[in-house]
Amino acid sequence: MLTRDRIDGDPMTFDARRGTRGNRQPNGRLMRWVNSLMTRRVRRSGGRMMMGLNTLVLTTVGRRSGVERANPLSWFPGPDGSWLVVASANGAVDNPAWYYNLAAHPDRARIDVDGDTIEVTAEHLHGADREQAWQEITTTAPRFAQYQRKTDRQLPVIRLTRRS
């Protein structure tokens, strides 16, 4: 379990476990090229919808390398102007690398959305907060429920809030 303390002292826990079944995560040179292409497209368009979903670019700091990594992700509106993202990895056995980067550095992330670059803090939702967010996400985008059916790990829902 990876934990970080929030400023107010409440634990912020990134504890999603690897599953035992699921799809393979896309990787390799082709995937890096597609990721780079999509990142540029999202930044140019200001995050207009792709495949019917709002899109942002999440930039994290590598947990081992310390190198910045950018990933285009679908997002959903959260409470108080926050952004919700799902670490689905298309229903893969393991969480995407960006999830582990956020776990290591939840206060060193930023997003490009709606033409703005915003410094954010990441919080892995649990319990009732996660269930409420998950219900809203799967109602808006049923494909996320399909991703959940492909794997036995619980897909993490992450709330990104603007850093002050």
pLDDT digits (tens, 9 = 90+) for 112-148: 998 899 999 999 999 999 999 999 999 999 999 999 9
**Can you give the CATH number for the domain in which 24 is found?**
2.30.110.10
Residue 2 to residue 21: CA distance in whole angstroms? 22
In the block, residue with structure tokens 């690897």: 18
pLDDT tens digit sequence for 62-112:
999 999 999 999 999 999 999 999 999 989 999 999 999 999 999 999 999
**Would residue 4 count as lying in a domain?**
no
What is the reported pTM?
0.83
Provide the domain count of the chain.
1
**Would residue 14 count as lying in a domain?**
no
**Would residue 58 count as lying in a domain?**
yes
**Would residue 79 count as lying in a domain?**
yes
- pLDDT for residue 48: 62
To 5 degrees, how large is the angle CA 7–CA 9–CA 15?
100
Report residue 146: phi and psi, to 5°: -65, -40
**Would residue 40 count as lying in a domain?**
yes
- pLDDT for residue 26: 66
Domain limits for position 44: 20-162
In the block, residue with structure tokens 């956020």: 102
Residue 102 to residue 110: CA distance in whole angstroms? 10
User: Is residue 44 classed as helix, strand or coil in its secondary structure?
Assistant: helix
**Would residue 9 count as lying in a domain?**
no
- Cβ pair 125, 157 in contact under 8 A: yes
**Would residue 15 count as lying in a domain?**
no
